Amino acid sequence: MVQRDVLIVEEEPGIRSLLQQIFLAAGYKCLLAGDGGEGLKLFRRSRPALVVTDLRMPMVTGGEQVPSAGIELLKQVRQEDPDAAVIVESGAADVRSEIACLKSGAYAYIMKPIIMDELLIAAERALERRQLLIERRQREEGV
């Protein structure tokens, strides 16, 4: 059974609420965070199958604010759980950021305004890929 819980990390309350409504309507359990630091704490505590994060938002690490916390969150999540499914969303058309996110392990990079079907298809595919990675590793380990 594929785990269907999502951590939504978005600093804009209206967008965070919209994303929550989209995922709830599609049958997901949602966790919400308003910044990268809060998102990382929730990820560590709950280990959701999917993380959807904004690229540009605040994150405080070691007392220092990081402006592009989405990529920092992505790196931390993927370091702690190499199978984690992460989708990055951004309002900026920045090819360098998109490439950096994909190289860091993001499943997809989605531009705002978010198209509901595009987001849900990316989420389903990311979770399917995650499940395949887990099953392959289990076979290799003989579990």
pLDDT digit string, tens, across residues 120-141: 999 999 999 999 999 998 999 8
Sign of CA dihedral 24, 44, 138, 125: positive
Residue-level pLDDT at 105: 94
Q: What is the mean pLDDT of the chain?
A: 90
Give the neighbor-by-neighbor strand order of the sheet with 29-33.
29-33, 5-9, 50-54, 85-90, 108-111
What CATH homologous superfamily does 5-141 map to? Response regulator (3.40.50.2300)
Confidence of residue 1 (pLDDT cuts 50, 70, 90): low
Residue-level pLDDT at 56: 84
The 10s digit of each residue's pLDDT in 81-97 is 999 999 999 987 788 88
| pLDDT score of 15 more than 90 | yes
| pLDDT score of 17 more than 90 | yes
- Burial label for 53, CB within 10 Å (0-12, 13-18, 19+), is buried
